[in-house]
Structure 1
């Protein structure tokens, strides 16, 4: 909320200055020039809009945090597996229980089948949170799923380097991870995946925060030698120094 208060403080300061300016001109016999009045009007409107945008931004952040809060109450009533399942569906994601072939998913309206409540104390094996707003806080609702084998996070705008660092809790079970098209993942965050020693398939396609994708793929292959890396949507051109000291262009195609 500090950003909102700072914005409000700035707005109040400037509003006071504008008020002083108006009184100065009102006390004078001559009215201010047109360009001065226009400037006063535009300045006032600008800071009104700035404050509204700050409030709107903070409101959106609060709503995001509310969606990702820990479902402790549900866990106390139904157990951790049902709590994880309910969180996923409430975020419009999907999942599959261990030993079950049926997937439970929310539709585009956010509605879902409540039959998932019939599988109490059944852990989750596959989770698809693609294009949801799951974040670092929300990941806490899945941490107890130690049988989680597949996690899809394609196109998640809130998945970042801190999020990836927290995935170490699945190091004993996770085999497939899709973090493609996540805009806030950087090379530093990918280094945290070295903890996932059991990973067999990793999709890091189209990550705009990766500056040297070809080199990153090489490093991932060294960190996770048993893992199949998928990295499409990049220009994998790397410059390497040849034996004669000249740079040679190496093309890596995947």
Structure 2
């Protein structure tokens, strides 16, 4: 009987304490100002101060964790995109570029071979012909590791969140060999960055699908066709005029339609 009465009293005390502290939990800033350490004369006030301090410390630590997490991500991006100068000096530019790509969980293909290399590089006498770093954290600094490759024909930068217009301006060093380039899903790329590709005159295939920051895709497609006449543009339709501003005058529409008709017929 006594044990049952004791349990009932404990439950009642717990409910009373919960009601008493409910406003404190829901509004810790108000309670903190009301129940400071100088005015906490009773045990109840002291308990409330401790509860407020706990919540304030908890949320403060949460903000610190988020801040440290952001710093860690930025540090990781910086480290992953560092220049492999020591590797280049010791083993050559091809090995340095391959090591950089493989450390980004990408893959490389050597000249004259069809298979792709993943994971670790087992040979040092290589000549890179293809690089796939799709979906990686490669950025402007990381592209420096690829700048001196003279036989690179295929480069996949699709879905790389850090690839932007400034990065595309750095691809001019690959103009002598690059034949296939994929920028699909690079959401930071705009039409200004695509204009930088005019130096890549050896391109045969360019994938520019899923670029949300590129307006007037029909006009941009025509621009790319004019800059790179030997290149197949994938992902943009020259005849898609739904996004074209209605303010374009009739003469401009006629000129564009005539150009489209002339480009649509090609001799076999």
Q: TM-score, normalised by structure 1?
A: 0.73
Aligned positions, number: 219
Shift of 1:155: 0.9
Q: Counterpart of 1:125 in 2: which secondary structure?
A: strand
> Could you list the runs of 5+ residues in structure 2 that have no partner in the other structure?
1-28
Could you say which structure has the larger radius of gyration? Answer: 2
Residue 34 of structure 2 corresponds to residue 26 of structure 1: no
Distance 1:62 1:246 in 2: 49
* Cα distance change, pair 186–37 in 1 and its aligned pair in 2 (3 A): farther
Distance 1:187 1:38, change over 3 A: farther
Aligned with residue 241 of structure 1, among 245, 249, 262? 249
1:95 aligned counterpart, secondary structure: strand
For the 8 Å contact 1:94–1:129, the answer to whether it is kept is: yes
What residue in structure 2 maps to residue 184 of structure 1?
188
- Quote the offset at 1:57 in angstroms: 0.7
Indicate how the Cα distance of structure 1 residues 123 and 236 shifts in structure 2: closer, same or farther if over 3 A, else same: farther
- Aligned position for 2:198: 194
Q: Name the residue aligned to 2:76.
A: 63
- In structure 2, what is the equivalent of residue 50 of structure 1? 63
Worse-superposed segment, 162-171 or 221-230: 221-230
Alpha-carbon displacement from aligned partner over 1:4-57 (angstroms, at most 9, x marks no partner) = xxxxxxxxxxxxxx8xx759833347999xxx9999876665554333222211
Show the counterpart of 2:123: 116
SS of 1:26 mapped into structure 2: coil
| Map of 1:15 onto structure 2 | none
Deviation string, structure 1 residues 217-243 (Cα, Å, up to 9, x no partner):
122222222221112599652344325
Structure richer in helix, relative to its length: 2
Q: For structure 1, which segment, 225-234 or 71-80, has the greater mean C-alpha deviation from structure 2 after superposition?
A: 225-234
Conservation of the 8 A alpha-carbon contact between 1:199 and 1:224:
yes
Residue 98 (str. 1) matches residue 119 (str. 2): no
- Residues 43 and 92 of structure 1, relative CA distance in 2, 3 Å threshold: same
In the alignment, is the contact (CA less than 8 A) between 2:164 and 2:188 conserved in 1? yes
On the 8 A contact 2:189/2:213 being kept in 1, the answer is yes
Larger relative contact order (Cα-Cα within 8 Å, sequence gap ≥ 6)? 1
Q: Is the 8 A contact 1:85 1:116 kept in 2?
A: no
Comparing both structures, which one devotes a greater share of its residues to strand?
1
Mapped partners of 1:189, 1:146: distance in 2: 22
For residue 85 of structure 2, what is the aligned residue in structure 1? 72
For residues 133-187 of structure 1, give each alpha carbon's deviation from its aligned partner in whole angstroms, at most 9, with x where no partner exists: 1111111111111111111111111211111111011111111110001121122
Match for residue 217 of structure 1?
A: 221
- TM-score of the two chains, using structure 2 as the length reference: 0.69
Aligned CA distance change for structure 1 residues 215 and 71 (closer, same or farther; 3 Å): same
RMSD: 3.5
> Aligned partners of 1:189 and 1:40: how far apart in 2?
52
1:83 counterpart (96, 103, 106)? 96
Do residues 146 (structure 1) and 154 (structure 2) align? no
Whole-Å separation in 2 of the counterparts to 1:37 and 1:215: 65
Instruction: Tell me the equivalent position of 2:22.
Output: none
* Structure 1 unaligned residues grouped into runs of 5+: 1-17
Return the alpha-carbon distance in structure 2 between the equivalents of residues 39 and 128 of structure 1.
53
